[in-house]
Structure 1
Amino acid sequence: MTAAVAYAAAPAAAVPCPETPRASTGARPRTGGGLRVRVPLRIVVGAQYRDAALSVYIKVAALAMRPEGCTAKVSVLAEYLGLSKSVAERGLKDLTNPDEADGLTEVITTRRTLRGGRGQSAHRVVRTAAPDEHFVWVPVRAADALTPRLLRLYALIAYAEARNVPLSVGDLGGMLYHHTGKSAGQHLGARQAARLIEELGSTGWITVHARQGLQGRHAYETHRHPVHAVVQAPAAASDIHDGSGADDHAGSLASREDQRTDRLVKRAGAGGSIRRRRPTGSRGPGHGERRSNTSGPQIAQERGDLTRRAWEVLEPVRHELPAVRPFLLRRIDAEIGRQLAAGAGVERLTARLTARWASTEDPRRGDVGRWILGAGLPRHGCRLPSCEDGTTWSTGERCHLCANIAAEASAIEETRAQQPVPAEAPPEPPAPVRPPTTWLPMPRPEPGPEPPGPDEREQLRAAATPETVRQALAELGVPAAIRLYGRALVLPHLADQHDEGNPA
């Protein structure tokens, strides 16, 4: 039994879990918390579904509550969710194809075409769930504000909270999967799950009560709304033409959108539809010069380099943006989106850019795009997210942590100033100079008697007796005796000496 199956089959009161204090008691959200969608648990825990499939299912189910059903194009769904069109297409493909486990289709799609052959956006509804099927309630606003992986983690925690099932970080990591790369199909580790829980807690959609659950586990509390305002920036990802049509025709079959869709943003570049065009040049006949095509988009927002919220943040330096390269504009847009998702508002980023642009002597001498990334957008202050250059942004008062740090630094400086200056130690006497080393030549060896020649050695060996060999060994040594009498005559006497010196 896998962790996902055991998680879904856990009874409502299987394990008693102590009641934790509610973090949303003092919050003042909007009444009701917004619309919720009943999501089958198989989509949340199934490894065959991508993380984006859950986000797409919630948005389709919410739009399908209208009398005419969901008639939004895939690009509009991606724009609502802050995803690229290709990611939304992949998630929708998992929902519209029969499941490989039990053959269920979660989203039923009906193609629509006018009599003239012109395609319309498809009509989509969700499958009617069985009465005894496990499910979890998920707010629609969570799908708009959270990334697909954080949304899946939120749904897992919401189901555990509703069923009163205690959770550990390892349990959550065992129900989240890698869907791409070399680790595709494998579970996430406990360390990755802990990072995701920390990131989800910073958005305000859950509250983590450390070590307040059963047997020292963390207790998790989900909210139908974030306890503080969080703005999720749309992800800027490239469109690789993964459509909802047949596999041999990449791209959607629809060429026109149903105008009854309550679409919020209609301008290109402000949402998930970020197909970028580059103006092409043409050469006039008979001319060598290259003429630019002025029919293409000329500003960054029309090209899709900047989203609408990034354009609002960059209002203080808008007159300098035409000189910034598109690559840097996309990096600036990604940085603004990251800070907005972390909780910083548009007004705060705009005020930060305005103050730093006015206090900088002449940033126009260098690259303005690099100045925005390196000096204009980074937050300065302590580790508290609300600190802005030593001031609490929400109240305008001085940050207490920065004040404590400054007080400690001043106290350390005062203590150092009050301490007496140690007297300088007398200089050490210089080391005595060593006299230079004088090397004497090695004396030459004294000349000795010349060694006997071959004829003399032959005569000595012919007249050798055991006594003369032993005498040569005692007087001259083993090497000299071997040179005179040879190994055959000397070695037996060496063996005799060894036996005599080591009696048994």
Structure 2
Amino acid sequence: MTAAVAYAAAPAAATPCPQPPRAAAGARPRTGGGLRVRVPLRIVVGAQYRDAALSVYIKVAALAMRPEGCTAKVSVLAEYLGLSKSVTERGLKDLARPDEADGLTEVVTTRRTLRGGRGQSAHRTVRTADADEHFVWIPVRAADALSPRLLRLYALIAYAEARNTPLAVGDLGGMLYHHTGKKAGQHLGARQAARLLDELAATGWITVHARQGLQGRHAYEAHRHPLHPAPLAPAAAPDIQDGSGADDHAGSLTSREDPRTDRPVTKTGVGGGIRRRRPTGSRGPGHDEKRSNTSGPQIAQERGDLTRRAWEVLEPLRHELAAVRPFLLRRIDAEIGRQLAAGAGTERLTARLTARWASTEDPRRGDVGRWILGSGLVRRGCRLDGCESGTTWHTGERCHLCEDIAAAGAERLAAEQQRPVPPAPRPEPPAPVRPTTWLPWPPPPPDPSPAPTPAEREQLRQAATPDAVRQALADLGAAAAIDLYGRARVLPHLTQPEHDGGTPA
């Protein structure tokens, strides 16, 4: 059972979990949390829906609460959400077509055309959820302020908080998916989920209580409004003119916006012709040499090879990082991020690097980056996560498992030293040397008689009798007899084993 199915099939009874302190109790955000939308859980955890589908569903459901319903064009929805028109259209397509799993359609679109043939913006409504269907309440302003992926992460945390279900970073990574590229359909994983959690916490929509949940997990608190001003989503991507109409017509069927839309359309919000200029460090026409871009960043911190948390970990070696290659810096940043996502704190990694850099156990000759990867950041100790080179990190005491392993090794060594050494076996006397017996040299073979001519061989074969053939077999062997008398006359007489090459010894 995957984490998404387990979420959707969560029991009604809440799992016991210690409640973290409410971060909103000490803050003074703006009064009220704004309008909320009841979102089916299947849209939040379903891998068949893109991240943008959740944002589009919340906006359509909010506009559908008006008496006239949702009549906004796709471009207006994209402007509300801070997305491009094409991304918004793809999210609408996921919601408007029946699901392959259960055949449900979340958003029902009705095309409208005036009597004269002039098109109007489509009328959209959301599906009425069943009474026993799992759902989560999401503020509408969260869809406007957060990117689609962060909004999906926020919805997962809000549902877990409502269910009082403990969460782990790996659980959140297992419910977020890649929707494009070679990894489409695969989970994001714990490392990407940890980075998204840091980004979402920076917006103020959630608060992460480190190690205050069940069994040392992080406890997450979702807010109906950010505790401090949150930046809006990044600028919209260029519009590629996907429309909401049929696949053979790019663009929507509408030609006029409904005048009752509650927000006017601005022409500068969506679909701008923005093109990113490539770096100037490229080859000029007619030149083989590559021009250097002297205006670019020259140090690792400006280039972005290390993130902020990696700089905090590498504070003891900051003066040595200028000589480290950018490739090794990126590998060091990835290793630090992996260990931080696994639960190792920044202070622990910094203390580890400080102690090993000050000691003389590990040679530091050569590249400093290779030393950081091969020795400085490597955790040493037993299989316990809290063990740091034989010492429990949180208490500073000697690790009991390392003590047991060392004691067992000492006992084994003492037992081997006290064990009596068996006497060495006496060497066996050497075997007597037998005298060499020299055999007489065999006599030289007799001189072969001259071979008969073809005429003589033909006369012998005509005058051959069975007794002569058998005598030749006994004297000369099978090969010479066949050469003299032929195969047809000799084969019937080859009945003895000594006929294979000469007379028996």
Q: What is the TM-score with the length of structure 1 in the denominator?
A: 0.55
1:129 corresponding residue in structure 2: 129
Q: Deviations over 1:224-264 (max 9, x none)?
A: 01100012144331211211111111211111111211125
Q: Matched residues in 1 for 2:278 and 2:65: separation?
A: 41
Q: Matched residues in 1 for 2:435 and 2:79: separation?
A: 105
CA contact (8 A) 2:203 2:231 kept: no
What secondary structure is seen at the aligned counterpart in 2 of 1:37?
Answer: strand
Identity within the alignment, %: 81
> What letter corresponds to residue 143 of structure 1 in structure 2?
A
CA contact (8 A) 1:78 1:272 kept: yes
Q: Matched residues in 1 for 2:39 and 2:212: separation?
A: 28
What secondary structure is seen at the aligned counterpart in 2 of 1:207?
Answer: strand
Q: Matched residues in 1 for 2:34 and 2:210: separation?
A: 28
2:8 corresponding residue in structure 1: 8
Structure 2 residue 102 is matched with structure 1 residue 116: no
Structure 2 residue 110 is matched with structure 1 residue 73: no
Q: Deviations over 1:103-123 (max 9, x none)?
A: 111011110111111111100
CA contact (8 A) 2:27 2:227 kept: yes
1:87 corresponding residue in structure 2: 87
Q: Matched residues in 2 for 1:500 and 1:245: separation?
A: 108
CA contact (8 A) 1:81 1:234 kept: no
Matches within 5 A, 1:69-468: 69-264=69-264, 266-268=266-268, 271-274=269-272
Are the structure 2 counterparts of residues 265 and 243 from structure 1 closer, same or farther at C-alpha, using a change threshold of 3 Å?
A: closer
Q: Matched residues in 1 for 2:265 and 2:118: separation?
A: 24
**Structure 1, 197-206 or 240-249: larger mean CA deviation:** 240-249
CA contact (8 A) 1:212 1:219 kept: yes
Q: Matched residues in 1 for 2:65 and 2:211: separation?
A: 40
What's the offset of the Cα at 1:58?
0.3
CA contact (8 A) 1:169 1:190 kept: yes
Q: Deviations over 1:164-202 (max 9, x none)?
A: 111101111111111001111111111011111111001
Are the structure 2 counterparts of residues 197 and 234 from structure 1 closer, same or farther at C-alpha, using a change threshold of 3 Å?
A: closer
List 4+ stretches of structure 1 deviating above 3 A.
none
Number of residue-to-residue matches in the alignment: 300
Q: Matched residues in 1 for 2:227 and 2:150: separation?
A: 16
CA contact (8 A) 2:146 2:233 kept: no
Q: What is the TM-score with the length of structure 2 in the denominator?
A: 0.55
Structure 2 residue 21 is matched with structure 1 residue 39: no
Structure 2 residue 55 is matched with structure 1 residue 55: yes
What's the offset of the Cα at 1:76?
0.6
1:462 corresponding residue in structure 2: none
Q: Deviations over 1:101-149 (max 9, x none)?
A: 1111101111011111111110011111111110000000100000000
What's the offset of the Cα at 1:28?
1.5
What's the offset of the Cα at 1:10?
1.4
CA contact (8 A) 1:17 1:165 kept: yes
Are the structure 2 counterparts of residues 20 and 132 from structure 1 closer, same or farther at C-alpha, using a change threshold of 3 Å?
A: same
Q: Matched residues in 1 for 2:111 and 2:273: separation?
A: 24
Gaps of 5+ in 2: 280-292, 298-303, 310-433, 437-505
Q: Deviations over 1:459-480 (max 9, x none)?
A: xxxxxxxxxxxxxxxxxxxxxx
What secondary structure is seen at the aligned counterpart in 2 of 1:120?
Answer: strand
What's the offset of the Cα at 1:30?
2.1
What secondary structure is seen at the aligned counterpart in 2 of 1:24?
Answer: helix
What's the offset of the Cα at 1:2?
2.3
Q: Matched residues in 2 for 1:112 and 1:370: separation?
A: 53
Q: Deviations over 1:418-467 (max 9, x none)?
A: xxxxxxxxxxxxxxxxxxxxxxxxxxxxxxxxxxxxxxxxxxxxxxxxxx
What secondary structure is seen at the aligned counterpart in 1 of 2:25?
Answer: coil
CA contact (8 A) 1:98 1:105 kept: yes
1:482 corresponding residue in structure 2: none
CA contact (8 A) 1:12 1:164 kept: no
CA contact (8 A) 2:15 2:163 kept: no
What's the offset of the Cα at 1:13?
3.0
Gaps of 5+ in 1: 277-303, 306-325, 329-366, 372-377, 384-498
Q: Matched residues in 2 for 1:100 and 1:70: separation?
A: 26
Are the structure 2 counterparts of residues 49 and 233 from structure 1 closer, same or farther at C-alpha, using a change threshold of 3 Å?
A: closer
What's the offset of the Cα at 1:8?
1.6
> What letter corresponds to residue 211 of structure 1 in structure 2?
R
> What letter corresponds to residue 274 of structure 1 in structure 2?
G
Q: Matched residues in 2 for 1:145 and 1:263: separation?
A: 17
